[in-house]
Amino acid sequence: MDAISVIRTKRDRGELTPEQIDWVIDAYTRGEVADEQMSALAMAILLNGMNRTEIARWTAAMIASGERMNFSALSRPTTDKHSTGGVGDKITLPLAPLVAACGAAVPQLSGRGLGHTGGTLDKLESIPGWRAHITNAEMLDVLDTTGAVICAAGDGLAPADKKLYALRDVTGTVEAIPLIASSIMSKKIAEGTGALVLDVKVGSGAFMKTIEDARELASTMVALGTDSGVRTVALLTDMSTPLGLTAGNALEVRESVEVLAGGGPKDVIDLTLALAREMLDAAGLKDADPEKALADGSAMDVWRRMISAQGGDPDATLPVAREQHVVTAPSSGVLTRLDAYGVGVAAWRLGAGRARKEDPVQAGAGVELHAKPGDTVTAGQPLLTLHTDTPEKFEYALGALPDAYDIAPSGTPFTATPVVRERIA
């Protein structure tokens, strides 16, 4: 077996054999296949695709490159959620303790932000003392005592994916649906959860810009999970507008705590509850009532225990950026569009995100929204507030915003896009 023959097969629109897939994933993980060779193969996959058999085998080979976790010792059924990433997507923070409060165990392995999309670990690290990296034994202990854990995946989990993801990020092949699907599902299947709900974002602020691409990705991942014995369902959710009223690390933690306290923006509450119901149903807890657990404070109790278990102080004051800049409405009327991508890029440029994985982030940086599409605004009123520790970034961030919103004359009809657009099972 050699890398050139594998590349040629996919370059010429052929189907990779199971032996070719097993060999190339193993050889790349060991360093026998060079980065430039895997780059060529990834580009061939982006251009020519893979069928279901190929994707399933590719995913299995990535799982086989590392360890598999086992939660069979837990007394609760396990269920997890994965989001494909967006702007203001803080849903994991209230969702994990909410589902745990309803009787499930939630082993949430999360990642960091890159570019305009935020990362769950970056958000939580704005809480003083909180640790993202814990051992497998610590993870099991937190799950056993609190019911939910949010942490970084260990190095032993699908190491082939970790290496390939970094390569895809710098070779323009992130958008390849077979590679996205296998990347996500290899980690989730290796994680060992019994059920999985996928939140596949669609819109300007998502990797999937069209409903057709989102549907294809969701269907591929549901098939991979189902074929591996994991009860899997996907929701296609809107990411044309940022979720909630904040985009930025500490800003989003603060908003998540508001949701757990019984307040918060309606779209965040609605999506949290929709995903909670799907997770509980997949875990066999159909009679659980997440709305009640949110209202009676039990989800907040789990949140506090979960944060404390990883060294965080749930009562600590969250970081606040040293500088603010207010963007005002240029005219009066109805806000008909607030582009998720534009807001996400602005937050990233302010310091909330990173261009490279090793870049630091500012805990207090981000964008605060004062209106959402459908709201009536008046000329001069605050539309957005930009937060950063480095005021020289304001001009750069403002460059992402001139075309990020539309204001129509008062009385213009407006129909909101539902937060959940489709369900795929």
Confidence of residue 155 (pLDDT cuts 50, 70, 90): confident
The whole-number pLDDT of residue 116 equals 85
Q: To the nearest whole percent, how much of the chain has pLDDT over 90?
A: 90
Report residue 164 CA to chain centroid gap: 18
pLDDT digits over 61-77, tens only? 999 999 999 998 899 99
User: What would the mean pLDDT of 257-262 be, rounded to a whole number?
Assistant: 97
d(CA 281, CA 159): 31
Q: How many CB atoms lie within 10 A of CB 251?
A: 32
209 counts as catalytic: no
The whole-number pLDDT of residue 165 equals 85
Q: What are the strands, taking DSSP E only, across 269-332? A: 323-328
The whole-number pLDDT of residue 170 equals 82
The whole-number pLDDT of residue 41 equals 98
The whole-number pLDDT of residue 238 equals 98
Lowest-confidence segment of 71-85, 105-119, 296-310 by average pLDDT: 105-119
Residues of the chain with CATH 1.20.970.10: 3-49
256 counts as catalytic: no
82 counts as catalytic: yes
The whole-number pLDDT of residue 358 equals 74
**Residues 65, 83, 126, 183: which is the catalytic one?**
183
Q: Tokens at residue 295, please? A: 């209202």
The whole-number pLDDT of residue 149 equals 97
Q: How many CB atoms lie within 10 A of CB 72?
A: 7
Residues of the chain with CATH 3.90.1170.30: 323-408
Lowest-confidence segment of 49-63, 277-291, 327-341, 344-358 by average pLDDT: 344-358
**For tokens 């957005």, what's the residue?**
384
Tell me how far apart the terminal alpha carbons of the chain are, to the nearest angstrom.
38
Q: Which fold has domain 323-408?
A: Aldehyde Oxidoreductase; domain 3 (3.90.1170)
Q: Tokens at residue 369, please? A: 């929204």
Q: Tokens at residue 155, please? A: 């190095």
The whole-number pLDDT of residue 204 equals 95
- Identity of the amino acid at 356: R
357 counts as catalytic: no
User: What would the mean pLDDT of 158-179 be, rounded to a whole number?
Assistant: 89
**Is a pLDDT exceeding 90 seen at residue 307?**
yes
d(CA 129, CA 124): 10
**Residues 81, 90, 187, 349: which is the catalytic one?**
187
pLDDT digits over 358-376, tens only? 788 999 999 999 999 999 9
In whole numbers, what is the pLDDT of the chain averaged over residues?
A: 95
Q: Which fold has domain 80-154+175-309?
A: Pyrimidine Nucleoside Phosphorylase; Chain A, domain 2 (3.40.1030)
Q: 207 with 195: CB under 8 angstroms?
A: no
DSSP 8-state code for residue 348: I
Q: Which fold has domain 3-49?
A: 1.20.970
**Is a pLDDT exceeding 90 seen at residue 154?**
no
**Is a pLDDT exceeding 80 seen at residue 114?**
no
DSSP 8-state code for residue 74: S
**Residues 80, 89, 161, 339: which is the catalytic one?**
161
161 counts as catalytic: yes
d(CA 257, CA 247): 15
DSSP 8-state code for residue 412: -
pLDDT digits over 190-245, tens only? 999 999 999 999 999 998 999 999 999 999 999 999 999 999 999 999 999 999 99
The whole-number pLDDT of residue 111 equals 86
Q: How many CB atoms lie within 10 A of CB 291?
A: 13
Report residue 314 CA to chain centroid gap: 22
Residues of the chain with CATH 3.40.1030.10: 80-154+175-309
Three-state secondary-structure class, residue 327: strand
**Residues 116, 168, 231, 387: which is the catalytic one?**
168
d(CA 351, CA 367): 10
Confidence of residue 175 (pLDDT cuts 50, 70, 90): confident
115: left (phi over 0), alpha (psi -120 to 50) or beta: left
**Residues 10, 57, 81, 82: which is the catalytic one?**
82
For Cα atoms 161, 163, 168, give the angle at the middle one, nearest 5 degrees: 85
User: What would the mean pLDDT of 15-28 be, rounded to a whole number?
Assistant: 98
**Is a pLDDT exceeding 80 seen at residue 355?**
no
Specify the pTM.
0.93
**Is a pLDDT exceeding 90 seen at residue 303?**
yes
Whole-angstrom Cα Rg for the chain? 21
For the chain, the residue count is 425
Q: Tokens at residue 116, please? A: 């305009």
Q: Tokens at residue 409, please? A: 């004359």
**For tokens 């060529």, what's the residue?**
40
Q: 386 with 327: CB under 8 angstroms?
A: yes
Q: Tokens at residue 101, please? A: 């409060």
Lowest-confidence segment of 29-33, 164-168, 280-284, 403-407 by average pLDDT: 164-168
The whole-number pLDDT of residue 48 equals 97
| 3-state class percentages of the chain: helix first, strand second, coil last, to nearest 5 | 45, 15, 40
**For tokens 């500490």, what's the residue?**
250
User: What would the mean pLDDT of 88-101 be, rounded to a whole number?
Assistant: 98
